[in-house]
Amino acid sequence: MAAFRVPGPTFAFPQSVLIPSAAVGVLAGLWLRMAGTGWSAGLGALLVGLAVWTLVEYVLHRFILHGVEPFRSWHLEHHREPDVPMRTPVLFSLMLVLTLAVLPSVLWADTGFAVALSGGLILGHLVQELVHYHLHRAMPRSQGWLAARWRHHDFHHHDNDCLAFGTLASFWDRLLGTQPGR
């Protein structure tokens, strides 16, 4: 298979991390220019954003990529040929990053908190892209966190694609009943 058939321009790894990386840089610059949000509050909001990203990723993977066309068809191509670099439509990536950047500002008027939260969400997206890429290269040699993530993701691809949706964390799989019962 040459590439996934998706409309418009696409990015494969490592280009797929350009948009979220640029967004993290812009948000970091905005946050640093704002007054009124201290380092501890900013760091706390960033960490909350990272944690919330794991839920966003779970929901997107389980309900959008496995349930809504045309995303489902594109994602099933990835399941059929997991070692072929996944191509992300630029428009989808832009829409996701813009949503992650703007939604906290709509929900919270405290711009410094919202910008730091957005930064955490987008940083989570960036880390998820990097980890997902490495999960499809080879089983990690160590027995640490990345090896556990590899086993979890490998189960999703090869044993039961109705389980194990979390790429970065198993928390939501355990909580929502989609954790494999190995």
Q: What is 59-113 written as a DSSP string?
A: HIIIIIITTSTTHHHHHHHHHHSTTSPP-EEHHHHHHHHHHHHHHHHHH-S-HHH
Sketch the domain layout of the chain as residue ranges.
13-141
State pLDDT tens for residues 150-166: 999 999 999 999 999 99
The two tokens of residue 155 are 């189960």
pLDDT (mean) for 6-28: 60
Q: Which two tokens stand for residue 69?
A: 């066309």
CB atoms within 10 A of CB 9: 9
Residues in the chain: 182
Number of helices (H), then strands (E), in the chain? 7, 2
34: confidence class by pLDDT, cuts 50, 70, 90: low
What is the pTM assigned to this prediction? 0.79
Task: Give the distance, in angstroms, between the CA of residue 119 and the centroid of all CA atoms in the same chain.
Answer: 13
Give me 94's structure tokens: 């832009």
Predicted confidence (pLDDT) at residue 16 exceeds the cutoff of 80? no
